[in-house]
Amino acid sequence: MQKTVNLQLKNLWIERGERDLCRDLSFSVLNGELIRIAGENGAGKSSLIKAILGWVHLEAGNLEFNGEDVTQHRDMLLQCQLYLGHTPGIKSVFTALENLRLYCPQASEEALEFALDQVQLGAFVDTPAAQLSAGQKRRIALARLWLTDKALWFLDEPFTALDVKGVDALEQRMSDHLSSGGAIVITTHQPLLSLAPKVIELVA
């Protein structure tokens, strides 16, 4: 596991169409920190995360990860991070266990089943995803958080379609990750009940 997290974002400018999503935006992400990207729908929260990861064009600004220019050494950042997006990316013909194995092929059967247990899917390991609810499909994707050794997480609306137990389990997993020195960048409309993030506000 890459323990050191020092992501520096300096004077970022992201444009979509003829509208600035952000301009001269600067903040840092360090070990143990939870950064919440806030803003109304369309403000550019998801685009900001994707720009950091190199999937959306950056008009201007500097990105440094552990002292290295991300534009020149993006692999250093990508090797350290785990990204979970809006949609769970679950294949309907596969079972819950098969879907998780697809994303975590190095994990043992016991580890996969343990991760599914943590998201209340222990009774559905052999159930095709097509027969699961939207919330259950979401939890298959979130089970990866119990298997990863990546220090920096980017979570884009991870609470979507989760019930109260699912929210509680995810917040506890996030808390454990932060306590162990990991860092998280999150977008969410869900109030964080047990966590105190540093908030970066984007204005639509």
| Residue (of 5, 1, 19, 7) closest to 203 by Cα position | 19
| Span 33-40, average pLDDT | 93
- Calculate the average pLDDT of the chain: 91
- Please indicate, yes or no, if residue 131 is contained in any of the structural domains: yes
Two tokens, residue 181: 């020195």
Over its C-alpha atoms, the chain yields an Rg (Å, rounded) of 17
The pLDDT tens digits for 110-168 are: 999 999 999 999 999 999 999 999 889 989 999 999 999 999 999 999 988 888 888 89
Domain total for the chain? 1
Q: Does residue 10 fall inside a structural domain?
A: yes
Residue 2 — φ and ψ, nearest 5°? -75, 105
| 188: in domain | yes
Q: Is residue 110 part of a domain?
A: yes
The structure's pTM equals: 0.92
- Write out the two tokens for 179: 């306590």
Domain span at 179: 6-201
- CATH number of the domain to which 182 belongs: 3.40.50.300
Establish if 1 belongs to a structural domain. Answer: no
Could you tell me which of 11, 15, 20, 24 has the C-alpha nearest to residue 62? Answer: 11
Is the pLDDT confidence value at 1 over 70? Answer: no
